[in-house]
Amino acid sequence: MHIDVVSIFPEYLAPLRMSLLGKAMTDGIIDFATHDLRDFTHDRHRTVDAPPYGGGAGMVMKPEPWGEALDHLRGAGDGSRPTLLVPTPAGHRFSQAMARDLARREWLIFACGRYEGIDQRVIDDAAGWAEVIPFSLGDYVLNGGEVASMAVIEAVGRLIPGVVGNPESLVEESHSDGLLEYPSYTKPRVWRDREVPEILLSGDHAKIAAWRAEQSRRRTAVTRPDLLHSSQVLAPDDLAEGS
């Protein structure tokens, strides 16, 4: 997969080159490149923003550098249609389902806005040659799109075959089946007088699976009832402390 990120702070993305994703980049599974938006300006101050037409607070990112930066990426491509991801609090809420969909694509471009966002004409223009997806990480406002893009790149990157060593670990994690993951335990068996639940030591795989499924359902009911279907109603004992 090719991933391009355009930002006025390309160095912000550096931590993505660490750990599992970094290895996937070295191994050639992910071809990752960052691009400085200011390299596509032509004035002495490398200006990327201007006050909004119509008035109001803040600054808007000017269309010209964005147009040039995106044309540059497009020209360097192989003619295939990329997906242009635009982080914005006004976008579609990002989810594991979206991560799964994006992980199957060949070429993702992230356009990281700052200030009050990017001139809308850039987005409208790009829709002529890319699939444009404005996305939001959640219902809160960040200072720019870099952190949101990093979160999406990590969530998507780990789903690409070969990136996570043991693909089984992707099957049972939170959101893989629409529920939150069950609690996990490891050695020692007793720690600060707290014991690992007996059933996990039983060796009875069917019982362990049933216990974990029930723990997932309860945890979801308590912490994220919005994820449950109406058939999985919240029982009063789900809300009891330590249940």
Report the binding-site residues for S-adenosyl-L-methionine.
113, 137-142
Distant-in-sequence contacts of 198-201, Cβ < 8 A, 24+ apart: none
Distance CA 133, CA 92 (A): 8
| All residues at 6 or more sequence positions from 227 whose CB lies less than 8 Å from its CB, including other chains | 178, 179, 180, 220
Among 22, 52, 63, 89, binds ligand ADE (CB under 6 A): 89
Write down the least CB distance from residue 208 to ligand ADE, Å: 38
Write down the least CB distance from residue 93 to ligand ADE, Å: 9
Size of the site for ligand ADE (CB under 6 A): 11
Binding mask 135-154 for ligand ADE (x = CB under 6 A): -xxx-xxx--x--x------
Binding mask 16-55 for ligand ADE (x = CB under 6 A): ----------------------------------------
Q: 34 vs 136, which CB is nearer to ligand ADE? A: 136
DSSP string of 16-82, one letter each residue? GGSHHHHHHHHTTSSEEEEEEGGGG--STT---EEPPTT--SS-EE-HHHHHHHHHHHHHHS-S---
Instruction: State the residues that interact with ligand ADE by CB under 6 A.
Output: 87-89, 136-138, 140-142, 145, 148
